[in-house]
Amino acid sequence: MKKTLLICLLGYLCLPTSTTTAQVADSPPETDLVDYSGIPGQEGASSSARLEGMLYLEIPAASGIDTLVLTYWEKMLSSSPAISPGHSIPLVGHKGTFFEGSGNMTVFTCYLPEEVDEGYFSLSDGKVDLIRNWNFKGLDRVRIRFEQSSGLLLFGGPQADFYRTQYYLDQAVAESKFNSDPLLLAGTSLGLFENSSSGERYRRALQKPDDLYVKLKVLVPVETGWEYLKEYLSIPVTQNPAWKVVQRFKDVLTATEYQLLEARVVGTMLKQGVNRAEFALDHLKESPAKQAELLGWAADLHMETLGASHPLLIEGAVGLALVEAKIKKEDFFGVVDTYPARMKDPMIGNYVLGNYNKFGDNLSTTLDSSIAFIETSWIKEQLISLKEVQLGGFLSRGLYDERGESVDLTDYSGKTLLIHYWISGCKFCIDDYQTVLTPLKGLLAEESGFSDASDIILVTINADSGEDSWRNSLRTGKYTSDQFLNLKAVADSEVLSRYGIEAYPQKMIVGPDSKVRFQSLHRLSPGQLHEMLDSIQAEYANQSITLHHTQP
């Protein structure tokens, strides 16, 4: 049975570690995904004869990177972690050797989950994503070297062509953006850049040769929105740089690999077209001919004949359905019903999971109808879980404080709770406390004299498997302070299992009505969290005033 690996999620702004022994405390002694052979104290945990799917990664030792975080998805509705959180694991590197061709390299090995036929993964070094949402197959074996000095990725192993193609697809999309005119969105073109130094620089830029220079493009949707969309629709699918890449490598890919990447490319093109269509909504609403041109372009992508799917394809299809619903003044779910059968479930799942906080009083009805319609079990389960979390009250049984006394957070009804989940040994949890929670505490203190009796309570919940490690970590002062409500979750506690808390650090906001209002693995700034807390408090205050005035 696969064991759960407690991990420390590497947020966008987290810094990489400088120690070669950084590990996640309280992790199980082994896991299906991590090769421990290079980690001190774990030698021999893996067999060199094993030939399952594996990623073998090399990064120059001089970079100072000794820990990577790999996030993988068995099923993925969207690249947004809020919709498809994924499973994240730390990869601890070890020194490469001259005898294996990896001298002066830090080497990371990761065994892929063999029970997953197809999936997706991302790889982060703590500052940037080295790989973002690439396809993998459970039996893939590939070696990737990140040549940071030259900016190259080098590939080896049986599936090198498949991964190299994905690298070139990323490069093609990035180059398209690099060679596109920068865009300035404006409400009107009247008087823009007149009688100013910026106007003179703008006019000089327009005189540069077109073969080399990109030039600022002013987009006024009510004036030039259609022209902006038309420019993209007029480019044949076969001329799209990403399409050219996948066709160039078609002969060295298996049929399955080609279908996976073809779906990704179609999704990329669809999203690009939909993004432009958003600026042309007024024009599309007024002209059936322009509507037909947009939908004809989308039909030429032949989504119904694709042999595979991809999160970008679903995201693009949802965007197109929303545009179509707006310009035709139809219901989104009715538009989705015209799409290929195999796309309907993921489209509805993507839309509802990504927009549930906008449905307001219609959330219950929307969830019930979506759950009844969807046949795909794993998508249905996500919607059922969303319904339980969003429409049910917050449940927090299985928590106790430093004195060992049981604590039920529902006792704080009427207060707004910011909950910070963490584990010992997690360097990113330490960084998050120091750079996010501590400044946030200061902002709250400046605003309202923050205290235990305030309307906003800062809570930390530790998920260590042992109590001693939690108490020892509390004493260090690195993870939290006595100005927070510090709690410990027992193993398999309700608050961890119900809300799927497996990655750390993680934030949750529970409103005064004891409903979960926000949950995310994303690293937010103190200002962003402060704004969210204020907004929830203000909303609750307004509801209370309205209720008071309407009571008989």
pLDDT-derived band at 20 (thresholds 50, 70, 90) equals very low
Q: What pLDDT, on the 0 to 100 scale, is given for residue 269?
A: 96
Q: What pLDDT, on the 0 to 100 scale, is given for residue 367?
A: 94
Residue whose C-alpha is closest to residue 327's, from 271, 288, 293: 288
Tens-place pLDDT, residues 512-546: 988 888 888 777 889 989 988 988 888 777 665 44
Q: What pLDDT, on the 0 to 100 scale, is given for residue 428?
A: 85
Mean pLDDT of the chain: 84
CB under 8 Å, gap of 24 or more: what pairs does 509-512 form? Answer: 509/416, 509/417, 509/418, 509/419, 509/533, 509/536, 510/394, 510/409, 510/416, 510/417, 510/419, 511/416, 511/536, 511/539, 511/540, 512/413, 512/414, 512/415, 512/416, 512/455, 512/536, 512/537, 512/540
Average pLDDT over residues 184-202: 82
Average pLDDT over residues 347-375: 90
Average pLDDT over residues 317-331: 95
Compute the 3-state secondary structure of the chain and give helix, strand, coil in percent, each to the nearest 5.
45, 20, 40
Tens-place pLDDT, residues 325-334: 999 999 999 9
Q: What pLDDT, on the 0 to 100 scale, is given for residue 544?
A: 53
pLDDT-derived band at 109 (thresholds 50, 70, 90) equals very high
**CA 350 to mean position of chain CA atoms:** 13
Residue predicted with more confidence, 445 or 62: 62
Share of residues in the chain with pLDDT > 90 (%): 56
Q: What pLDDT, on the 0 to 100 scale, is given for residue 332?
A: 95
Average pLDDT over residues 80-96: 84
What are the structural domain ranges in the chain? 7-158, 217-389, 399-550
Q: What pLDDT, on the 0 to 100 scale, is given for residue 545?
A: 47
pLDDT-derived band at 444 (thresholds 50, 70, 90) equals confident
Tokens coding 461: 């919940």
Q: What pLDDT, on the 0 to 100 scale, is given for residue 243?
A: 95
Strand partners, 489: 399
Q: What pLDDT, on the 0 to 100 scale, is given for residue 114?
A: 72
Tens-place pLDDT, residues 194-211: 767 888 888 889 999 999
Q: What pLDDT, on the 0 to 100 scale, is given for residue 41?
A: 31
Q: How far is CA 98 from CA 54, 57, 102, in A?
A: 21, 15, 6
Fold of domain 399-550: Glutaredoxin (3.40.30)
Inform me whether the pLDDT recorded for 217 exceeds 80. Answer: yes
Average pLDDT over residues 432-439: 94
